Amino acid sequence: MIITRAAVLTEVGRPLHLTDIHVDDPEPHEVRVAVTHVGLCHSDLHYMTGTVESEMPVVVGHEVAGVVESVGSAVTDLEPGDRVTGALTPSCGQCANCNAGRSTQCRRQAEIRRRPRPAYSLPDGTPVARLGDVGAFSEHILLRANAAVMLPDDVPTRVGCLLSCCIVTGVGAVFRGAQVRPGSTVAVIGCGGVGSAIIQGARLAGATAIVGIDLDDARLKAAHQYGATHTVNGAGDVPAEIVELLGDGVDFAFEAVGSARTAATALAVVRPTGTACLVGIAPDGTDVSVPASDFFFSEKRLIGSYMGSGQAREDIGQFARLYQQGRLLLDEMVTDVIGFEAIDEGFEAMQSGDVTRIVVAMPTRPETEETTP
């Protein structure tokens, strides 16, 4: 067990509290990672603001990269010094969904996440929860070994952390979730971090028209950098504007906001037989109301995509190669790199349309202490 520093959420709506916590030793199938970089994600804000419930106290954060520090007794494919990013969805590799190539929907996920002791605890012994069983706003974390993906030497952790959530979620939704075909037309509602990744995925998939939709003109301007061929301000009549631009609805629409209104818009902008894919996490209790006739008479499809709808480890590796080839833009998505002590200010800055992704650079603390269980 070690003592390290973490940003702990103790109460909804309150700033994160930087404090020392105890991090347990790795279980046989786990690795302990010294975190170097963590991306700030709007999903974290859901827990911090209470729109999605969580245990308290909790360490949020999940878009993570770092260096393996120690490995469990059963780990054979990783060793100390390996640079890794972490997948939010560890899987058993044996259930029906894993065997079908849908590891993000592993049916034994709760079972394999179970630990005999808390991974994190306060100095007084109080257990501390971890968002997604990652809890990345900590200088050291524990990951199940099959959720850790090695990064190539020329993929810095500064951008490699984006692969673990923003990129695998957005690009994965294009290829694995909706299965966008070359020559298709695509609309993306919400052009923040995940939306920008979806736009890049649509470009890589060979879409001939990609419409970025957002309320913020700065984000719409940035959308062109990632591959949008058209942009529409969401304050207007979005379906009508898309018809005016393209002469019809789009083949695929992606919702990356997480609201009932934008989910309904996604279905409205697809043409008959088109597919609307919901990617953004909506607050607890959100219900989506859509016209039944869209399904009966227009044969539209409404689907969801969680964390890329595929094999996270395999997909992250492929997306790293696309970055190496210069085809997937990651450096351009990092608007700012901030220190750990500025994490709350970083979340405030995320409200700006000038921000695509803010990354926290975690300090190296030589004074980190070893302790006994």
Could you tell me the two tokens for 57? 């106290």
pTM of the full structure:
0.93
Helix (H) or strand (E) holding 194, with range, is helix 193-204
CA 48 to each of CA 43, 60, 131, 350: distance values in angstroms, whole numbers, following the listed order: 9, 8, 11, 14
CATH code of the region 167-304: 3.40.50.720
* pLDDT score of 365: 52
* DSSP 8-state secondary structure symbol assigned to residue 172: H
Could you tell me the two tokens for 208? 């001939």
Per-position pLDDT tens, the chain of length 373? 899 999 999 999 899 999 999 999 999 999 999 999 999 998 888 889 888 888 899 999 999 999 999 999 999 999 999 999 998 877 888 899 989 888 888 899 888 888 999 999 999 999 999 988 899 999 999 999 989 999 999 999 999 999 999 999 999 999 999 999 999 999 999 999 999 999 999 999 999 999 999 999 999 999 999 999 999 999 999 999 999 999 999 999 999 999 999 999 999 999 999 999 999 988 889 999 999 999 999 999 999 999 889 888 889 999 999 999 999 999 999 999 999 999 999 999 988 778 899 999 998 654 444 444 4
CA 334 to each of CA 226, 228, 251, 263: distance values in angstroms, whole numbers, following the listed order: 13, 18, 30, 27
Q: What CATH class is the domain 2-165+310-361?
A: alpha beta
Q: What digits encode the pLDDT tens for the residues 83-130? A: 999 988 778 888 999 898 888 888 998 888 889 999 999 999 999 999
b/e per residue 49-81 (b: at least 16 CB within 10 A): eebbebeebbbbbbbbbbbbbbbbeebeebeee
Q: In the chain, what are the domain boundaries?
A: 2-165+310-361, 167-304
List phi, psi (to 5°) of 268: -70, -30
Task: Report helix, strand or coil for 334.
Answer: strand
- CA 319 from centre of chain: 14
